[in-house]
Structure 1
Amino acid sequence: MTRVSLRMRTWWRWSRDPTRRWLWYLAAALVYVAVTILPLPGFTPDGQRALAVFAVAAFLWGTNTLPLAVTGLITLLLLPLTGAFDHQRTYAHFGSQALFFILGAFILASPVTRSGLSTRLALLILQRFGHNRPRLLATLLLTPAALSFFISEHAVAAMLFPIVLEVVRAAGAKPGSRFGLAAFLALAWGAVIGGTATLLGGARAPLALGVLQSTTGRTISFLEWTLWALPTVAALLLAALGVLWLLGRDETIHLTHARRHLEARVRTLGPPSRRETLTASVMLLTVLLWVLRGEAWGLDTIALLGVALAFLLRITEWREIEEDVNWGIFLMYGSAIALSAALRDTGAAEALSRLALTSWIDTPLLAFTAIVLLALGLTEAMSNSAAVAVLMPLALALANEYGLDPRAATLGVALPAGLAFMLPVSTPAIAIVVGSGYVRPLEAFRHGARLKILGLAAFLLTSWAYWPLVGLGLGG
């Protein structure tokens, strides 16, 4: 490590002390002042103030100086306070359809985990398919991927963590072993990859969809999203499987012990309870309605219908919802949608795209590639939801400037932003497995970088070759 990097790390630790947090507040204020006084061609006064608020939000989200929700609250305050956007429009955009879809999805995830349905499914799948090393690793990858189609990837990783830990220990793998490393990377990678397949794997997709809808009036249905995302998901799962098989080979483990342990766990579950059965029925009905009636009724309406059924059938209680749902995060999502609207309506997003990228972008293909690369890079430096909030206004401005389909631009942000494999700061799934003792941060970074490169290739190939065949061209 160089002397400069050592000094940077020392300064970072010193500045992150709670007693010195005022330094970061001062830096955020200086960011605002700098953006407002810089001579920026093409910006209106309101647009420059909106850009300054955007810069402050991006700085606070990126440095994690404050919790995401608190930064969202400050953003909502600054938009009308600085005169960038009037208060009526600010709060009108905050209460968007996407916010209520996210709310419904988060509430529905609670009975799925509380009832034991998700644990039962995971154990049954592992018991059924984990009979040898390659199949066990494949099952440890595909089980969280499948569950993340319908539950937040963060919740899936947290729920399956103790199960994977028990399996690894029963197999005799110790911290530092190749099989233990492969097993926990399979958990994290499966949850992350599967979470991009539908609108339910994480809140970044509904957030991107909300910004798209408020900015352009267009949307992407539940079925369209899955249809356009699945090839990338399938290719990434195959690539991850290859990496994991190579990583976990040539080591003695005791799969017989692991299988017996899983069988014993399944026996302790007993028969499915009434709550599990009703929860499965409500989730199945909700997903079917999203697919069949999503455009007619709205994804948010169907999500709230599922929530109403969950309470009417008494498969959840408000006390559990209060404990399980991260209420503060809605401030972050709502503020991001309002901020995007301010950047659009003041012309700041379009002016920024021209100022920053027009020197080398001259086709929709280059604009799309730039969006994808920005999303892939930024999602490792901050949470993927924050990356979506920062990039969506710029992506839609680029789409408008270069004739790129705004739906393709939205996917170009939301899908790559979900492919965070390298650093714990980017997604709780990586942070969870790094905390297991079986995955060192450097190993997560090195192996995640390989998968990241493969993911970039798979996504670009899918967007160039497959999307036009199923009704989504890059040109608008």
Structure 2
Amino acid sequence: MNQAEQTAGRDAEGASKSRLIGIAAAVIATTIVLLLPTPDGLNPAGQRTAALFVGALILWASEALPIAVTSLLTLAFQPLFGLTDLGPALGNFMSPVFFFVLTMFIIALAWTKTGLARRFAWWMLSKAGTDARRVIYVFVLGAGTLSMIVSDVPAAAIFMAIALGIFAKLGIKPGSRFGKAIMIGIPIGALVGGVGTPAGSSINLLGLEIIVQQGGERIPFVNWMAIGIPMVAVLLPLTAFVVAKLFPPEIETIGVMDDIDAERKRMGSLSSQERKLIAIMSTMVVLWILSSWPALFPEILRPLSNVFLVAILGSVVMFVPGIRLFSWKEAQNATGWEVLMLIGAVTALGVVSRDSGLAQWLVDTLLSGLTEWNAVIILLVISAFTVVIHLMLPINPVIPVVMIPPLMLLGEAAGLNPALFALPVIFTASCAFLLPLDAVPLVTFGKGYYKMFDMLPAGALISVAWVILMTVLMLVIGPLIGLI
């Protein structure tokens, strides 16, 4: 056995031990929660739900089991713990959000397969020229703009691929400030852009669906955009400025404009596939926006005022003969099935936490005094806590499921619109860049151009601006859209 094989064997053995430790920790923690005396105000079903949550979080965070396998376990243990029958658990698992996220993977594939995303990126580079500092702005603004329609992970991956091509041509290696600025700026830009529209991130639709599950009213598409678009308009340029300031590029240019022009010429004019995708996406976006006013639709077309239905129909059209942007096998391979399973599992757990009384108990125990504070302080505290909790729960879909139900109950107790307490969590659930622990920063982190704590200074500054800006927008625009 050579040295490489010995090293691989030791790594495999170490990984196996880590997984066993994670499983043991989950079992022990779950057992402890089950055996503890039931706290005052919490019924036994709520305690069992808390135990299931604790065990699942440890398994997800440690990846002791594949994320999808842990997600299946949460389904199996709901009837085993006497929380609900398997049928209702499966019904909660296969929520509209599950299928919306599936369509987002299909749409992201369409942008990459047709080449439209790459064309958009090179078009933006052509507008920036070759100045290195302006190129940093292009990558941040481009990833953020694309992320408002395409999910944040593929948006980050698309711009990273183009950046790596430029790095290879210029000989940019890990340690370069230019490389560091772009590789940190891309995921932050994608996460910022993802809050521009409800379709920008699976977290947005998951959070909005939880509001409905908890008895709140559905937030119209344009009402979200009334807050989301101003956030993106301010935070994207700020992100580019911060990363360029913290990591000033050591080069002045990325070459000559002829290189960029040559790349665009190689792509040629818009292909028929690209035109088809533009037509499909334009129709979907128009219908999404019009869904905020269902009365505008004739009675027979009223179902098209449903955001989820439009996403499903739009993705189906991409497979119709004569359009056919790709095959179903290609769509299968491009789908993040672990993400889908995680979304389904946390949605089902959210329903159980409400029905078992766990959410109400958390409100009474931890947050009851919050209603006595000023609205500004409430929004700031909720948003800041959501930012910090990413360090302990680096699994974004879990955050709205854990936080929204108790906060909505708190809003009801205070006599306020529950959405006022829930929306800051949904918006700020994407503010996940203090450290590269979330799936989006991990897209670029693995390339080695920056270290774990390199993201912290930029991430902290932008997070503070995010919390302040979102609070101001909620207070200023909230009354205009019926939140306050």
Letter in 1 for 2:32: A
Q: RMSD over aligned Cα, in angstroms?
A: 2.5
2:331 matched to 1:332? no
1:375 Cα deviation (Å)?
1.4
Equivalent residue letter for 1:351: W
Say if 1:328 and 1:173 are closer, same or farther in 2 by CA, change over 3 A. closer
Separation in structure 2 between the aligned mates of residue 369 and residue 448 of structure 1, nearest angstrom? 17
Q: 2:448 aligns with which of 437, 444, 451?
A: 437
The Cα shift of 1:235 comes to 2.2
What's 1:321 paired with? 331
Alignment of 1:248-259 (within 5 A): 248-249=247-248, 251-257=250-256, 259=257
For 1:304, the equivalent position in structure 2 comes to 312
CA shift at 1:183, angstroms? 2.3
Structure-2 residue corresponding to 1:277: 275
Amino acid at match of 1:326: G
Q: Does 1:391 align with 2:403?
A: yes
Cross-structure match for 1:292:
290
Give the whole-Å Cα distance in 2 for the aligned partners of 1:174 and 1:337.
42
**Alignment check: 8 A CA contact 2:132 2:249 kept:** no
1:71, CA displacement in angstroms?
2.1
Cα distance in 2 for residues equivalent to 1:53 and 1:16: 27
Say if 1:246 and 1:213 are closer, same or farther in 2 by CA, change over 3 A.
same
Do 2:139 and 2:159's aligned partners in 1 also have CA atoms closer than 8 Å? no
1:281-333 CA-to-partner distances (Å, cap 9, x unmatched) read: 11111111111136553111111110221111212210111110112322221
Could you give the per-residue CA deviations for residues 355-377 of structure 1, whole angstroms, max 9, x where no partner exists?
12225553473554443223111
Q: Could you say which residue in structure 2 is the equivalent of 1:120?
A: 119
CA distance in 1, matches of 2:396, 2:39: 29
SS of residue paired to 2:279:
helix
Pairing of 1:407-426 with structure 2 (within 5 A): 407-426=419-438
* C-alpha deviation, 1:151, in angstroms: 0.8
The answer to whether the 8 A contact 2:183-2:444 is kept is yes
**Of 118-127 and 230-239, the range deviating more from structure 2:** 230-239
For residue 455 of structure 1, give the secondary structure of its aligned residue in structure 2: helix
Q: CA deviation at 1:174?
A: 4.5
User: Could you list the per-position Cα deviations for residues 182-223 of structure 1 after superposition, in whole angstroms to 9, with x for gaps in the alignment?
Assistant: 222222221111012112222111111221222215212222
Q: Is the 8 A contact 1:146 1:194 kept in 2?
A: yes
Match of 2:482 in 1: 471
Q: Using a 3 Å threshold, how does the CA distance of structure 1 residues 114 and 364 change in structure 2: closer, same or farther?
A: farther
- Within a 5 Å distance, the mapping from 1:100-119 to structure 2 comes to 100-119=99-118
The one-letter amino acid of 2:318's match is A
Counterpart for residue 8 of structure 1: none
Distance in 1, matches of 2:406 and 2:57, equals: 13
1:401 to 413, 432, 436: 413
Q: Name the residue aligned to 2:464.
A: 453
Shift of 1:269: 0.8
Paired residues in the alignment total: 459
Distance 1:263 1:400 in 2: 57
- Aligned-residue offset at 1:425: 1.6
8 Å CA contact 1:99–1:334 kept in 2: the answer is yes
Q: Which moved more, 1:381-390 or 1:260-269?
A: 381-390
What is the rounded CA distance, in whole Å, between the counterparts of 1:400 and 1:471 in structure 2?
Answer: 15
Distance 1:16 1:403 in 2: 53
2:6 is aligned to none
AA at the equivalent of 1:199: P
Letter in 1 for 2:49: A
- Once residues 310 and 354 of structure 2 are traced to their aligned partners in structure 1, the CA distance between those partners, rounded to angstroms, is 29
Kindly indicate whether residue 353 of structure 2 is the aligned counterpart of residue 343 of structure 1. Answer: yes
Give a deviation string over 1:430-449, Cα, whole Å, max 9, x none.
22332333322221123222
Note if contact 2:144-2:192 (Cα within 8 Å) is conserved in structure 1: yes
The AA in structure 2 aligned to 1:145 is: G
Do the aligned partners of residues 172 and 19 (structure 1) sit closer, same or farther apart at CA in structure 2, a change above 3 Å counting? closer
Matching residue of 2:4? none
User: What's 1:6 paired with?
Assistant: none
* Contact 1:364 1:402 (8 Å CA) reproduced: no
Identity value in percent: 28
Residue of 257, 260, 263 corresponding to 2:261: 263
Deviations 1:17-46 (CA, angstroms, capped at 9, x unpaired): 313533322322222222233331111222
Q: Which moved more, 1:61-70 or 1:285-294?
A: 61-70
Deviations 1:318-350 (A, max 9, x none): 011111011232222122122111111222101
Rounded Cα–Cα distance in structure 1 between residues aligned with 2:95 and 2:441: 30
Post-superposition offset of 1:172: 6.2
Aligned-partner Cα distance in 2 for 1:355–1:265 = 60
Query: Equivalent residue of 1:83, what SS?
Result: coil
- Give per-residue Cα distances to partners, 1:441-472, cap 9 Å, x unaligned: 22112322222222222222222333224432
- Structure 2 stretches lacking a partner, 5+ long: 1-10, 295-301
SS at structure 1 position matched to 2:200: coil
Q: Which range moves more in the overlay, 49-58 or 207-216?
A: 49-58
Q: One-letter code of the match for 2:224?
A: W
Partner of residue 227, structure 1: 226
Displacement of 1:250 in angstroms is: 7.0
Cα displacement (A) at 1:241: 2.8
Secondary structure of the 2:401 match is: helix
Q: Which secondary structure state, in structure 2, belongs to the residue aligned with residue 452 of structure 1?
A: helix
Letter in 2 for 1:84: L
Counterpart CA distance in 2 for 1:464 and 1:78 is 42
- Range with greater deviation from structure 2 (111-120 or 53-62): 53-62
* Partner SS, residue 216 of structure 1: coil
Amino acid at match of 2:396: N
In the alignment, the residues of structure 1 paired with residue 70 and residue 421 of structure 2 have an alpha-carbon distance, to the nearest angstrom, of: 25
Counterpart of 2:436 in 1: which secondary structure?
Answer: coil
Cα distance in 2 for residues equivalent to 1:394 and 1:74:
24
- Give, in whole Å, the separation in 2 of the partners of 1:167 and 1:22: 42
Matches within 5 A, 1:178-197: 178-197=177-196
> Where do residues 71-82 of structure 1 align in structure 2 (5 Å cutoff)?
71-82=70-81
- With normalisation by structure 2, the TM-score equals 0.87
What residue number does 1:177 align with? 176
CA–CA separation in structure 1 for the residues paired with 2:69 and 2:314: 29
Question: Could you say what secondary structure the match of 1:311 adopts?
Answer: coil
1:414, CA displacement in angstroms? Answer: 1.6
1:117: Cα distance to partner? 0.8
C-alpha distance after superposition, 1:44-65 (max 9, x if no partner): 2222222222222233333333
Given the two structures, how large is their TM-score scaled by the length of structure 1?
A: 0.89
Comparing 20-29 with 67-76, greater Cα deviation is found at 20-29
